[in-house]
Structure 1
Amino acid sequence: MVLVLALAVIPALAVAFDAIFALTFATRILILAAAAVSLNLILGYGGLLSLCHSTFLGLGAYVVGIGGYHAYNDEIAWMADGFMQLCAILVLTAGVAAIIGGISLRTRGMYFLMITLAFGQILYLAAIGAYQYGGDEGMTIFQPSTFAGFALHGRFVMYAAAAIFFCVCVLVVERLTRSRFGLVLQASRMNEARVRALGYDPMRVRLVAFIISGVMAGMAGFLLANNAEFVSPIDLHWTRSADLVIMVVLGGLGIGLGPLFGAGLLLIVEELASGMTPHWPIIVGVMVLLVALFMPRGLAGVVSSEKRHD
């Protein structure tokens, strides 16, 4: 309830202080925080460090970009339909996540990390080679997604959509992790042999979690593209996955609202530091190091009473 009230107050404050940029910035934070929430499901609760999460984020963004491209240039109106795009994202990201997860989850540790990285880079290079859709320069989205004739466009509309989606992601992950499925996922991280002895299949549970996580990230990509009105291969690059990992770690692994704290801190520091020095990534690196040393439960663990689900 406090979260909902806080999110509802932000637009009013933006109008009162004539800080519309702050509203746009808050929208971006919420969208990336939602993507980080999806990663937190497999990283914070499942102990799976994936470097291909940007793949799902980028796929969702490209569905919007490609749909908008053909709707605007070829007048194929249905390709800009938001419901159709969401269905396409659901099927596409679930299928890709099933393939990547089915292969990578057969390994552990560094091997899992490298396989997810490899898959992510393959799709990143495929996006660079898609010259019809801008190649490595990306493309501007002239036709936003529409729902029954209503365009997903405008600062307040995008903020409302991002806020609702973020709250839904947090609620879904919270319910999942408190269910039997979530308990088995967390137990698999701590003692896989004991989970097998109890009659559960850790591989299957992890794969389902990986697919759910990928679909949620794809939906975040849908909002990211509509908010930026631009899509680029950088959305699929592994550095975007690294950003999401940093958000989860900064906010607190396995803490529901952790990704919001992490995304807010990372993006604010990037915004301020990039205007001060071209070497701003060093500042981010020092910040992550300090949080890891002095706040092992992350920012959310310090400012809230919520505990990691172990």
Structure 2
Amino acid sequence: MKDERAWAVLLLALAAFVPVVAPMLDSPATVALATRIAIYAIAASSLNLLLGGGGLVSFGHAAYYGLGGYVVGILYAHYVSGEAFLGVIPGSNDLLVTLPLAILVGGLGALVIGALSLRTSGVQFIMITLAFAQMLFFLFVSLKAYGGDDGLAIRRVAPVFGLNLRDPATLYWISLGLLAAWLFLMDRVSRSRFGRVLAGIRQGERRMAAIGVRTYPYKLVAFVIAGMGAAMAGALMVNQARFVSPDMMHWTKSGELMVMVILGGLGTLVGPALGAAALVTLEYTLSGLTEHWQFILGPILVLVVLFARGGLMGAVRRIAGMRGRAPDALPAGELPAGRVQPGDRAAPDLPLREGAAPHG
């Protein structure tokens, strides 16, 4: 993972030059586009914790992304009306208030949905996560008080530490800083005992259960962390777009996030960010060329997935001459040194239930 951390530092360092380079390019949209990439990178990386970290194919991840966005929208609506939400929570247009609340609501939503959906597996798990997301989608479509299907516009946003969020550079630095913090958290998680248990679950949940590991709590905690990350991204996106709608929760948004993860490199630290950058940039560029840009984008994505083994991150490693394989990119059935191996008589880095027999 050392090379992954090096690539993450390099990526963030390059991103820091965007506000400097943008005026030279005489392209006002560059900073806004980079902000969008940073926000989607957070959302895609949060999904990667489930998909690449624990092998949990959640097709309802956009639910938490949308919940985070609607926390910002609903609190703004009550700020304008002057009425407290549910008669208790006062409205606000301050990012320092709405962002933490969005993260909290996203985590609570993921806790409820995860507690139910994680009792299933395989196709059933995929369909249940999808069903929950679509339920929330139709719920917010029906809430006419908050715009219904038309969505809700955010017209006024309070300054953050005296900085105007209407300045694209301000929101960019906030988004980039939160992306850096999120990548640091994901790196720490992947190298912790918790991360090793998740990797073991992905490689073989029955094997983990055989050595006495209760896998359900680990999966649920991962679900909650991922939901909080997606909600944070949703709140940031609404502050950038100044608009929130039920489309943020639609299953197509979940699919879009999944494409970013797979395109960038499943189970890697930087891959989801690269996938987000590639997809958002391609969409922006191609949509300016033709209204049928999806017909061009589709084949490009197929070619990348077919010929770039390990996604864009795998291609970058090969181009850079890095021959070492990241632990999370190992073929199915292999586990890196230090993780639970079939036939091991002890697993000192994994918690065993009291009275559970070692796998041997």
CA–CA distance in structure 1, aligned partners of residues 28 and 94 of structure 2: 28
Aligned to 2:169: 156
Q: Choose which of 291, 296, 299 in structure 2 pairs with 1:283.
A: 296
Aligned to 1:71: 79
| 1:307 partnered with 2:326 | yes
1:231-288 CA distance string (max 9 Å, x none): 1111111111100000000000011111111111111221222233333223332223
CA–CA distance in structure 2, aligned partners of residues 21 and 165 of structure 1: 21
Aligned to 1:26: 34
AA of the residue aligned to 2:326: K
Work out whether residues 76 and 91 of structure 2, in 8 Å CA contact, stay in contact via their aligned partners in 1: no
Aligned to 2:337: none
Q: Choose which of 106, 125, 128 in structure 1 pairs with 2:119.
A: 106
Larger radius of gyration: 2
Aligned to 2:226: 213
Work out whether residues 187 and 195 of structure 1, in 8 Å CA contact, stay in contact via their aligned partners in 2: yes
Structure with the bigger percentage of helix: 1
Aligned to 2:253: 240
CA–CA distance in structure 2, aligned partners of residues 181 and 228 of structure 1: 36
**Judging changes above 3 Å, is the alpha-carbon distance between structure 1 residues 308 and 297 closer, same or farther for their aligned structure 2 residues?**
farther
AA of the residue aligned to 1:271: Y
CA–CA distance in structure 1, aligned partners of residues 258 and 296 of structure 2: 17
Give the % identical residues: 40
The alpha-carbon deviation at position 300 of structure 1 amounts to: 1.1
Q: How many residues align?
A: 310
AA of the residue aligned to 1:112: F
**Judging changes above 3 Å, is the alpha-carbon distance between structure 1 residues 308 and 24 closer, same or farther for their aligned structure 2 residues?**
farther
Work out whether residues 61 and 222 of structure 1, in 8 Å CA contact, stay in contact via their aligned partners in 2: yes
1:72-91 CA distance string (max 9 Å, x none): 23287752233332332233
Aligned to 2:46: 38
| 1:230 partnered with 2:243 | yes
**What is the SS of the residue equivalent to 2:53?**
coil
CA–CA distance in structure 2, aligned partners of residues 205 and 134 of structure 1: 38
AA of the residue aligned to 1:198: I
Deviates more, 1:74-83 or 1:226-235: 74-83
Aligned to 1:62: 70
Question: TM-score, with normalisation over the residues of structure 2?
Answer: 0.81
Q: Which runs of 5+ in 1 are unaligned?
A: none
CA–CA distance in structure 2, aligned partners of residues 99 and 78 of structure 1: 25
Work out whether residues 187 and 269 of structure 2, in 8 Å CA contact, stay in contact via their aligned partners in 1: yes
Work out whether residues 253 and 308 of structure 1, in 8 Å CA contact, stay in contact via their aligned partners in 2: no
Q: Choose which of 142, 148, 152 in structure 2 pairs with 1:135.
A: 148
AA of the residue aligned to 2:265: G
After TM superposition, the structure 1 = structure 2 runs for residues 85-124 of structure 1, keeping only pairs within 5 Å, are: 85-124=98-137
Aligned to 1:175: 188
Deviates more, 1:291-300 or 1:236-245: 291-300
CA–CA distance in structure 2, aligned partners of residues 282 and 301 of structure 1: 26
| 1:273 partnered with 2:286 | yes
| 1:11 partnered with 2:19 | yes
**What is the SS of the residue equivalent to 2:266?**
coil
| 1:255 partnered with 2:268 | yes
1:277-302 CA distance string (max 9 Å, x none): 33322333222321221112000111
| 1:197 partnered with 2:210 | yes
Deviates more, 1:101-110 or 1:203-212: 101-110
CA–CA distance in structure 2, aligned partners of residues 230 and 69 of structure 1: 12
**Judging changes above 3 Å, is the alpha-carbon distance between structure 1 residues 282 and 26 closer, same or farther for their aligned structure 2 residues?**
same
Work out whether residues 301 and 307 of structure 1, in 8 Å CA contact, stay in contact via their aligned partners in 2: no
CA–CA distance in structure 2, aligned partners of residues 145 and 182 of structure 1: 38
CA–CA distance in structure 2, aligned partners of residues 41 and 267 of structure 1: 21
AA of the residue aligned to 2:146: Y
